[in-house]
């Protein structure tokens, strides 16, 4: 998709995208305005423009946050996000089916996009999740996310918890978690699912593109 002209760059496409994504037309129009603020002159979003948007909105240059958010939106792995992908991702973040939630979680935790989740990736996201939670609870999501410091005790807790969860997910002890392993456990272990979704479906991420 990323190599084609942005499908939603013209208002004539709004009706079609609304029908295909089953998102209300008025909501699609609101998303179009947000998309215009994120996208470059080509009418698409790449990592550079996404990073600029994230920095302007939550004051963060965190590489894990950028990778996680970009991977959620870049559903075809083209390294570019067009408007239809943008609408679909925002809609799914708000109201995913159980299967869609698992897919979103895997793509966001697979930070380097190699098809596997490593222990390091899970730890990065666990620490990011803890920082974002503190940003909301203590600072009411105001100010720069990068200026939010975690107490040493919280860093230790988040890191240890991530290590424990990773060891549970890495069923074949290959030091990486495949999509198949991840899906099976997310479907079977309710507490694991709550933990992972608590990181990915964070209020900071949910509200990043709301106007």
Task: List the domain boundaries for the chain.
Answer: 12-94, 98-207
Residue 153 to residues 121, 168, 193, 196, 202, Cα–Cα distance (Å)? 20, 23, 24, 20, 21
Instruction: Read off the pLDDT of residues 82-117 as tens digits, 9 standing for 90 and up.
Output: 999 999 999 888 889 999 999 999 999 999 999 999
- Domain 12-94 sits in which CATH superfamily? EF-hand (1.10.238.10)
Cβ proximity of 1 and 79 under 8 Å: no
Judged by phi (left if over 0) then psi (alpha if -120 to 50, else beta), residue 115 lies in left
- Stretches where the chain sits below pLDDT 50 are 1-9
Q: Which pLDDT belongs to residue 12?
A: 61
Q: Please compute, for residue 136, the number of CA atoms within 13 A of its CA located in the half-sphere on the CB side.
A: 12
Q: Do domains 12-94 and 98-207 have the same CATH topology?
A: yes
3-state secondary structure of 120: helix
Q: Which pLDDT belongs to residue 11?
A: 62
Spatial separation of the C-alpha atoms in residues 73 and 133, rounded to whole Å: 22
Q: Which pLDDT belongs to residue 141?
A: 73
State pTM to two decimals.
0.86
Q: Please name the fold of domain 98-207.
A: Recoverin; domain 1 (1.10.238)
Token pair of 137 as six digits? 């609870």
């Amino acid at each position: 998709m990323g190599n084609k002209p942005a499908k939603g760059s013209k208002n004539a496409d709004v009706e079609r995208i609304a029908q295909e994504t089953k998102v209300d037309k008025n909501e699609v129009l609101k998303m179009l305005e947000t998309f215009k603020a994120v996208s470059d002159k080509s009418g698409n979003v790449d990592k550079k423009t996404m990073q600029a948007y994230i920095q302007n909105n939550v004051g963060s240059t965190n590489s894990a946050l950028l990778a996680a958010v970009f991977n959620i939106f870049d559903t075809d792995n083209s390294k570019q996000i067009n408007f239809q992908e943008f609408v679909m991702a925002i809609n799914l973040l708000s109201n995913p089916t159980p299967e869609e939630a698992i897919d979103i979680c895997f793509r966001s935790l697979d930070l380097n996009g190699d098809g596997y989740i490593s222990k390091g990736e899970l730890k990065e996201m666990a620490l990011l999740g803890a920082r974002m939670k503190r940003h909301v609870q203590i600072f009411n999501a105001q100010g720069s996310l990068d200026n939010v410091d975690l107490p040493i005790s919280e860093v230790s807790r988040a890191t240890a918890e991530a290590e424990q969860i990773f060891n549970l997910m890495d069923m074949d002890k290959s030091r990486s978690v495949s999509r198949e392993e991840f899906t099976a456990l997310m479907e079977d272990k309710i507490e694991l699912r709550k933990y992972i979704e608590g990181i990915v479906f964070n209020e900071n991420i949910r509200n990043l593109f709301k106007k």
